[in-house]
Amino acid sequence: MPEEYRPAVTVVDDAPAASRAAAAIIADVVRDDPRALLGLATGGTMIPVYAELAAIVARGELSLAQVASFNLDEYVGLPPDHPQSYRAFMEAHLAGPAGMDPARIEIPSGMAPDPQAEADRYEALLAARGPVALQLLGLGGNGHIGFNEPGSAIDSRTRVVTLDPRTVADNARFFGQGEEVPHQAISMGVATILSARRILLVATGAGKAGAVRAMLEGPVGPDCPASFLRRHPSVQVILDEAAAAGLTQRE
């Protein structure tokens, strides 16, 4: 049997408190190593986390100017200047407000003519530059991490993935009415994520409660890809009360 670890779970009152806690952890990693390589996520959960980080930078308590990062994923078919591309997200929420150098933010290209070749290039670049010091993750309502949807294998690497209908529906809120939500993405695989030295997952809101419970208390397996985090020795999970509401075992 492969070893199973217990993620360190912190439950705070609400999403602003979770965002502050996550930003403080990221800031500590960068203070320890101003040139740290970070693994970064996008999505609604990360917006207030990055805003907190930008506030720490604005107070003069931290600089992100030297850090480098690899993002988890990008939609296939969206150009970098599309407002819903993850490249645009990173520039709007992190590079601009928190002073990260956009040239040091690696994101798969959603416009590559051969998306799988782009995924292979990205995996190889990360393997050459890694390991990531801290991988930040959100959690899909269906238990995905990155865009590793249910059914993803523990040994998966960066690849082209087809988004689950629930993910497409969840992400539709970011797109304009009538605008097509991409159905494919290039995503780091589960094994790619697990190769980070340390992992920090943030989940907030009642919509995540079922996935949080499956991640921490369900079987470890592809039905809930986030459960594979229990195969990594250094995982911290920050939840708000609403996301933690389904847990039966709380310290």
Q: What is the residue whose two structure tokens read 């609400």?
A: 14
* 148 noted as active-site residue: no
Rounded to an integer, what distance in angstroms lies between the CA atom of residue 140 and that of residue 205? 11
**Catalytic: which of 71, 93, 144, 170?**
144
- Indicate the pairing of strand 73-75 with strand 184-187: antiparallel
Q: Of 92-100, 105-113, 143-151, 241-249, which segment contacts ligand F6R by CB under 6 A?
A: 143-151
Task: Tell me which residue has its CB nearest to ligand F6R.
Answer: 138
* 142 noted as active-site residue: yes
- 44 touches ligand F6R by CB under 6 A: yes
* 14 noted as active-site residue: no
Which of 7, 115, 140, 182 contacts ligand F6R by CB under 6 A?
Answer: 140
Q: For residues 145 and 214, which CB has a smaller minimum distance to ligand F6R in the complex?
A: 145
- 227 touches ligand F6R by CB under 6 A: no
Q: Of 21-29, 37-45, 61-69, 121-129, which segment contacts ligand F6R by CB under 6 A?
A: 37-45
**Catalytic: which of 149, 164, 170, 240?**
149
